[in-house]
A and B are shown apart, each in its own frame.
Chain A
Amino acid sequence: MDSAILIGLYIFVLALFAGAELIAKVPPTLHTPLMSGSNAISGIAILGALVVAGESLTLKGNTVVGVLAVAFATVNVVGGYMVTDRMLQMFKKKK
């Protein structure tokens, strides 16, 4: 197994543990924003999509796939963060 794969697996497993610790501390009252917020960051696939959409000056079949991927990922990122922010600003403590 080459070392890049191994490093990737290390990162994957350690991030799983870190994520589980962080998320276990989120109170039930914030579970919906947790979902929409983690949803927004899963739009990180946009990093791969940007490269595909922008790597060729001529329009190839792959460019179309790339543009579609960018559009889907952007819906996820922009929509996810905005809706999370909309919800979180409503959580207030009153006297």
Chain B
Amino acid sequence: MIEWINFIYLLSAVLFMLGLKKLSSPATARAGNNLSMLGMALAIGATLLSPEITTYRMILVGVGIGAVIGGVSAVRVQMTAMPEMVALFNGCGGAASALVALAEFQAAGNAFTPFSMVTLLLSVIVGALTFTGSVIAFAKLQGLVPSRPVCYPGQQLINALILVATAALGVAVYRDPANTMGFFYLIIAISLVLGVLAVIPIGGADMPVIISLLNSYSGVAVAMTGFALQNNCLIVVGSLVGASGIILTKIMCDAMNRSLANVLFGAFGAGDAAVSGEGAEGGGPQGTVKGYELEDVATVLENSASLIIVPGYGMAAAQAQHAVRELGDILGERGVEVRYAIHPVAGRMPGHMNVLLAEADVSYDVLYAMEDINDEFSETDVVLVIGANDVVNPAAKTNPASPIYGMPVLNVDEARTVVVLKRSMNPGFAGIENELFLKENTMMLFGDAKKSVQGLVATLKG
């Protein structure tokens, strides 16, 4: 029986891999997700037949509660809130791994090999901090706690001391598991606190990195649980998820030209909160901001041959994606070539903008990644920047003194005309001034992104 169950686990692992493989194209991705679901169903079904399970009563309770919460949230969540949702689901995965490891520890008494003891401890620690870290990321994205970095003196020292204390407790439990149950609970409590402390100093604009990293942590926690339970299916999945999270983390860090350590400990954007809000007085870049009316912008758009739309978090915040698609359609009908350029860290999670535009029915073949479209800005009539700021800041290319110097940015300033839709002149999330707004060929259109785009649509239909 056990052999058969393990054989089915192998089938599941293959289905998970095939599912990921089919994610290589939007055309096959949905089928891939179905394969992955099938793999999960097989693995769960096989486990339910396991001779160790004697009653389904409590299982049904747990599955019932979880399915209702998960299902209802998945159906209700708005696409703009996807980063929060993914963070929360991810936290649940971390919690599940930690709880399974806890149960295993309670059940086994002192019958541990050193290896299973170490993996159990790692599973509990990583699982617990993934849980609270994800909850804090969720709260930051929802605005329940300040999304600016929360800092206090000695922050890193305190975190380091906590980490040392956790390790010391871990060693004590490792040496004498039968008599250190209290220490084990203490480790869980400390790990939960550590998850909170690790995420609060990270700013909202760095969320794509943190969500990716937490994703990989939940994979690590599952893999460690797999080692402790000697369940190869958990090990395979843990590897896949861990790899996925790490790769995305690296892509996000590269897209900001920052190291992971800098994201985790740099408290980026914390000190610059007081940068001038109105115009560019003082030592900032020289030039004047030129505000325009809807009619001016509509005329420019209408008379262009090529347009590249650059969406940012502001589009998500204003729920403007449907209006943007409508604008694109109208201009497309009038012979304008409309494309979209998407920076890897636009939004609050990897691929955030793509999902929103897909929701609004924008064809995925007009969505271009930065490296595929960056050379084309110089031959483009108009660029429409909607709620993006740092990812289009030319200072990243030209000003070595800028905090974002060296970050790969979209070359929007090379287009003939740049139209920027912006709520106000407040600096972006990183708190950095943007000289793009002051350039000769830049037209600013102030106001809520959704209202502005709807206004443009109305004017064009006029």
- Interface of A toward B, CB cutoff 8 Å: 1-2, 4-5, 7-8, 11-13, 15-16, 18-20, 22-57, 59, 61-63, 65-94
Prevailing SS type, chain B contact patch: helix
A57 to B382, CA, bound (A): 69
- A sample of 11 cross-chain residue pairs with beta-carbon separation below 8 angstroms, ordered by A number, consists of A12-B235, A26-B20, A29-B369, A35-B244, A35-B351, A36-B86, A37-B33, A45-B225, A47-B47, A53-B62, A84-B33
Which partner residue on chain B sits nearest A4 by CB separation?
B230
Q: What's the nearest-Cβ distance from chain B to residue A42, in Å?
A: 4
A75 to B25, CA, bound (A): 27
B324 at the interface (CB under 8 A from A): no
Shortest 10 CB-CB contacts between residues of A and residues of B: A74-B66, A70-B62, A79-B70, A31-B351, A15-B239, A19-B243, A31-B350, A82-B74, A69-B99, A78-B70
Other-chain contact of A81, B36, B61, B73, B90 (Cβ < 8 Å): B36
> Does the CB pair B53–A50 fall under 8 Å?
yes
Known contacts being A8-B230, A39-B93, A87-B82, is A34 close to B238, with CB within 8 Å? no
Residues of B close to A25: CB separation below 8 A? 21, 24
A9 to B48, CA, bound (A): 26
Which partner residue on chain B sits nearest A56 by CB separation?
B54
Prevailing SS type, chain A contact patch: helix
Q: Which of B34, B97, B248 has the most CB of A within 10 A?
A: B97
Residues 93-143 (chain B) with a chain A CB within 8 angstroms: 93, 95-97, 99-100, 102-104, 106-107, 113, 115
By the criterion of a CB under 8 Å from any partner CB, how many residues of chain B are at the interface?
A: 113
B52 at the interface (CB under 8 A from A): yes
B363 at the interface (CB under 8 A from A): yes
> Does the CB pair A38–B219 fall under 8 Å?
yes
> Does the CB pair B89–A79 fall under 8 Å?
yes
> Does the CB pair A39–B70 fall under 8 Å?
no
B234 at the interface (CB under 8 A from A): yes
Chain A proximity mask over B343-380: 1 for CB below 8 Å, otherwise 0:
01000011110110011010111010100000000000
Other-chain contact of A44, B107, B115, B212, B234 (Cβ < 8 Å): B234
Which partner residue on chain B sits nearest A32 by CB separation?
B351
Which partner residue on chain B sits nearest A14 by CB separation?
B239
A66 to B52, CA, bound (A): 14
Residues of A close to B21: CB separation below 8 A? 22, 25
